[in-house]
Amino acid sequence: MSFSEFTQEDYAAIERDWKVLRKSAQDRCANDAEMEVVQRAFDFANDAHRNVRRRSGEPYMLHPIAVAQIVVDNIGLGYKSISAALLHDVVEDTDYTIEDIQDRFGPKIATLVDGLTKIKNVLDTEQKTRGTDISQQSLQAENFKRILLTMNDDVRVVLIKLADRLHNCRTIEHMPEHKRDKILSETMFIFIPLAHRLGLYSIKSELENIWLRYKEPEAYDEIQRRIDRLVEEKGAEMDAFVKPIEEALDKDGFTYAIKKRVKTPYSVWKKMQDKGISFDEIFDLYAIRIIFEPKADTKDTERNQCYRIYTILTDLYMELPERKRDWIKRPKANGYEALHCTLLSESGIWVEVQIRSKRMDDIAEKGIAAHWAYKRHGIMGEGDYEMDAWINHIQGILTNPNVNALELLDIIHNDLTSTVIYVFTPKGEQRSIQKGATALDFAYLIHTEIGHKAIAAKVNHKLVQLSQPLKTGDKVEIITAQDGKPQLQWLDFLTTHRARTLVRDYFNSRRKIAVDYGRGLLEQMAANEEVKLNETILQRIESACKAPSREELFYGIGVGTVKHTDLESILKRYTSRGNWLSRAFRGNQNPDKKPSEQEEVKTESGYIIASCCKPIPGDSVIGFKMPDGTITVHKKTCPVAESFAATHGDRVIVPEWPSDTEEKTFLVRITLKGVDRVGLLNEISRYVSLIMGVNMRRLSLQADGGIFDGYIDLSISSKENLDQLMKKLSSIDGIEKVTRSDL
């Protein structure tokens, strides 16, 4: 921020944006008294931020106005939240206090502003230099714990913070690059999953696109250009696709609106990355959304009217059955309800069609705020119960006193990003549970005592072990025994937070068993790492795990509050060179492999090329300064880097490829697929080796039924050379696809 006298243009800009917000707020406020509070909040904040400017040089007041605009337009909150958004930076950036806010605007608005002020304080706090000991928790992890804890007080604080984060990301070009990388990593790791789980699709989608625009600018620009070109070329065909649908819905007496949309650059990029496909292979770029008002003059339910529209559509066009998604019968955990199908247009374009009622659309676009609004009026759909269940689940996690900050961050992140599967009880009742859950997780989902006494399970009438992973559609029966009881070994395969917590709680009253088990487990792990546990090492492990005594250390290991992966990292410290924290974020993806066996590229200037994503000169990269002084370089889109930047933002730096890499080569893998023909392999080898002068380290191509696929490992000097090589290979007759892939 900076200070300088406002000009007439500055005052005009503030008045212009306030005029737009005032109109939106008036539409949202229930009466003149509510609007009067919003007006006073604007006047107070405008006076407090007078002559204060943002990094961009704009008047600072434009930021709270923009945040309030998102709060009302994208989230649909009421006058108290709009007022809190206008006031959210006053206490932090001026001499006013929370008491001043309470005196002028009452306790509820003051509470919201106080929560937002605390979040800003902890996010802006830079982490001080720390040692390498695992006991020194990440300050950012503690900060995120405090942010999430505000959900227990008033979830509106988190919603307004999401609006604040969105506007900061919209103007992120004015930030220095290292701070930009930190903010974007936090955004991807926590805020985007939060927006998704709270049902805020438009905010989630915009944040994702901003993330991609700065993390992979070339990919973003190329995908956006191709989308724009296709929209222009195919606009008439989409109109022709929609026209028969409109005629059929009119004939059936529906009141509706049809919206056309196209996949976002991020969703296209994500699908290309996850499936290893090219832009041309994405067949569901186009979508239309049918939003209807349920008929009042019929006995058909809202759900049945969705199915009626689906029948109309499939009578008109051919459907791709495997792409049907029934989120009405099985709503998502964030409350999302809709019926999706993919239809083939007359011109040969696959189009995804989303069918929603007005209520479903409101909840899909404005998430939890719309959920509350309908709930207050006694209107509930299947998805509303899922939303309530998830919020209660998160509140249970947040209030658990036995979970430290880093563990909480992992649990919440995994919960936010986990995929839900649907399984059935023996009586046919549907239950949702996170993907990867086992039969025993399901037992604890049904009832605590069923989990405690479980000894086996039947999945689809077949006898299986309790550790059997489940998949959507499974019918699960839990077999119990009267003398059955929990086993500490269950913690090795249980995946849901509820089940793990119940097993740990069970052993809290059986302490000696857990202590003995933990001691034996540590001794076994030490033996596996060829470490002899002497008093010095045991004391250091106690200190690293913040255990107040030896018994507490063994107990923590026994019940799983001390992570086994953390113990392995500490023990490795005594078997080979280096520092465990440095290695952990250099991309060591195989904890069973000693660091000396990892493929690690180290430049003469001290840069270490992460083995998890293996960036090469020309890639968009992010760097981390490690405790031993070395700098580890990752691709900006690397998940390991995203996680580390989100929790150790103070270590983020902006690396430059040092000059000593100009003569180096880096191992890269490309995958190829196409139509086999005589001489194709020779042509590939000739171009790679003789024309480009690139060394092939490994080549594996297989042909079956006239189609070939495989990969080539190359020693390449830069992304520019790699792009040139891939472009040429793609032009060879018979090659359909060339992509860069993980080694």
Q: Are strands 621-625 and 631-635 parallel, antiparallel or unpaired?
A: antiparallel
The Cα 418–Cα 415 span in angstroms is 5
Identify the burial level of 534 via C-beta atoms within 10 angstroms of its C-beta, where 0-12 means exposed, 13-18 middle and 19 or more buried.
exposed
181 has catalytic annotation: no
| Token code pair at residue 241 | 């696709």
> From the centroid of its chain, how far is CA 735?
34
Instruction: State residue 709 phi and psi, 5-degree precision.
Output: -155, 165
* 262, 231 Cβ separation under 8 angstroms: yes
Closest CA to 382 of 391, 392, 371, 373: 371
The Cα 535–Cα 263 span in angstroms is 59
DSSP notation for 97-165: -HHHHHHHH-HHHHHHHHHHHHHHHHHHPPPPP--S-TTS--HHHHHHHHHHHHHHH-HHHHHHHHHHH
The Cα 695–Cα 475 span in angstroms is 53
The Cα 603–Cα 257 span in angstroms is 59
568 has catalytic annotation: no
Active-site pick, 92, 100, 252, 410: 92
| Token code pair at residue 46 | 């405008």
Q: Which residues of 344-377 are buried (b: 16+ CB within 10 A; e: fewer)?
A: ebeeebbbbbbbbbebbbbbbbbbbbbbbbbeee
| Token code pair at residue 702 | 């297989």
The Cα 503–Cα 440 span in angstroms is 11
Active-site pick, 10, 15, 58, 93: 93
Looking from the CA of 100 toward its CB, the CA atoms found within 13 Å total 12
Instruction: State residue 378 phi and psi, 5-degree precision.
Output: 75, 20
Q: Are strands 631-635 and 607-609 parallel, antiparallel or unpaired?
A: parallel
Looking from the CA of 728 toward its CB, the CA atoms found within 13 Å total 15
Q: Please name the residue that has the structure tokens 């998949």.
A: 471
* 165, 190 Cβ separation under 8 angstroms: no
Active site residues: 92-93
